[in-house]
Amino acid sequence: MTEKIIAFVTAPDEDSAAMIGRTLVEERLAACANIVRGIRSIYRWKGEIFDEQECLLVIKAASYSFPKLEERVRSMHPYEVPEIIAIEISHGSRAYLDWITENTRLG
């Protein structure tokens, strides 16, 4: 069975997150992208501490699409160094995991 991932990408606002998520799904780099509004991110950047509101994209895809997914997110993202991380899905509904495969093209 093809490995599946959940990728996480933060964005500064819902419009940016929606544009990234829609593009990934349209280009079949992801099967699904959920947008979680209103997250609070506290982080260090260039020696300063920031405390800001962001949106979180929760992206479901086949693991083989990650390199192209990462490249595509970087090309659209407004941040200099966007968060683009992924974890493997160890268990899930067979039907849902098959759906991810069917809707994510081979890179």
Query: Could you report the per-residue pLDDT of 25-59, keeping only the tens digit for each?
Result: 999 999 999 999 999 999 999 999 999 999 999 99
pLDDT, position 106: 66
- Please give the share of the chain, as a percent, with pLDDT higher than 90: 95
Confidence class for position 65, pLDDT limits 50, 70, 90: very high
Give domain limits for the chain: 4-102
4-102 has which CATH code?
A: 3.30.70.120
Q: How far apart are CA 106 and CA 2, in angstroms?
A: 11
Chain mean position to CA 57? 5
Which helix (H) or strand (E) segment is 20 a member of? helix 14-26
- The CA R_g of the chain, rounded to the nearest whole Å, is 14
